[in-house]
Amino acid sequence: MQKQDSLPQSLARAPFTFGAARASGVTVNRLRRKDVMNVGRGLYRPVDWDFDLEGAARALSAASPGAWISHVTAARLRCQVLPPWLADSTELHLSKPRSLPSVRRKGVFGHTVLAREDEIELVDGIRLSTRSRTWLDLARVLPLHDLVSMGDQLVRVPRVDFEGRTEPYDTIAGLRMLVGRHPNLQGVVRAREALDLIRVGADSAPETLLRLAIADAGLPEPGLQVPLRAGESRSPSADLGYRHRRLAIQYDGGHHLGEAQILSDRRRDKAFESAGWTVLVFDKDDLADEFQRAVQRIKRALRNSWLDHPQASGFA
């Protein structure tokens, strides 16, 4: 019988469990060789493996019956909105119910929590917290504005042509119900604060942060996805705006740098300007400034609009 010198391809690419190794015909002695590292109870990885969050989470989930991937790890796996200081996190977070022993694995952040079965799901073979439960778990870590940004993305109405789905991941009422189930969870007070600030209509985190900066400055809350022609589905729209002041506010992110998108944005803005609107466009430089200069420009535009149209009242 030929001696097995190399690991099976399925084990050589990512971390694996003891059970997976034995099922592939790998002996205990083979697992003791220098090209394999034991990284915890029943969990191994190839020594030359380049860290991959999904591979690590998959193996950790398989090695932890009854537990689930959670917190920032779950958020990253689901591509949820995170602030820059967490966007590239390699932390591994694992949650368990109170009926199981505490998580004690090197390099793993363990959490003992109360969660209902509908707050956990199986995605591509990995047990992890739902997007909404992940949002709630991160309430103890994220600053308020970042928590609102993540919440806005949960309740956002998707663009079917680009995302292949027709329903938001959750609703504000659904998030409120989730928060109500866990009155003693760490971070629940901040989650309740965030709920009061979450709105349907922000297409990106910068749009949310701009809206919150406007509110922090004491200005009236702008409308979101404001159409030039109300009630017309194909009308150009502004990311934020004040209809009665004819002020359109756009945030153009990185995807707006393509030539086709630039032309589309110009046509959009020209349509508003031709109808007598003022158009303000902000970008990543304004985001880096936490929209402080942007807010001053919006204040001036609102003041000038009031001087030009003193008969107009209200904001929308």
Q: Which residues contact 31 (CB under 8 A, 6 or more apart)?
A: 18, 21, 38, 44
Between 277 and 13, the more confident residue is 277
Give the tens place of pLDDT for each residue, 225-267: 999 998 887 899 999 999 999 999 999 986 555 677 788 889 9
Q: Are residues 272 and 284 in the same domain?
A: yes
Give the tens place of pLDDT for each residue, 178-189: 999 999 999 999
Q: Give the per-residue pLDDT at 316.
A: 42
CATH number of the domain to which 216 belongs: 3.40.960.10
Of the candidates 176, 83, 208, 183, the residue with the CA atom closest to the CA atom of residue 138: 83
Q: Are residues 167 and 213 in the same domain?
A: no
> How many domains would you assign to the chain?
3
Residue 109 has pLDDT above 80, yes or no: yes
Q: Are residues 44 and 58 in the same domain?
A: no
Q: Are residues 184 and 58 in the same domain?
A: yes
Q: Which band of pLDDT confidence, cut at 50, 70 and 90, is reported for residue 310?
A: low
Q: Are residues 234 and 173 in the same domain?
A: no
Q: Evaluate the CA torsion angle 75, 252, 166, 168 in order and state its sign.
A: positive
Give the tens place of pLDDT for each residue, 130-189: 999 999 999 999 999 999 999 999 999 998 877 888 999 999 999 999 999 999 999 999
**Average pLDDT score over residue span 85-103:** 91
112 by Cβ neighbours in 10 Å (0-12 / 13-18 / 19+) ranks as middle
Q: Give the per-residue pLDDT at 1.
A: 38
Q: What is the pTM of this model?
A: 0.84
Q: Which two tokens stand for residue 120?
A: 């956990």
Cβ proximity of 67 and 120 under 8 Å: no
Give the tens place of pLDDT for each residue, 21-71: 888 888 888 888 888 887 777 787 788 777 789 999 999 999 899 999 999
Between 91 and 44, the more confident residue is 91
- The rounded distance, in Å, linking the Cα atoms of 26 and 56 is 20
CATH number of the domain to which 22 belongs: 1.10.10
Which percentage of the chain shows pLDDT scores above 70? 93
- Which helix (H) or strand (E) segment is 146 a member of? helix 144-155
Tell me which of 10, 26, 50 is where a domain ends. 50
Find the domain containing 66 and state its range.
Answer: 53-200
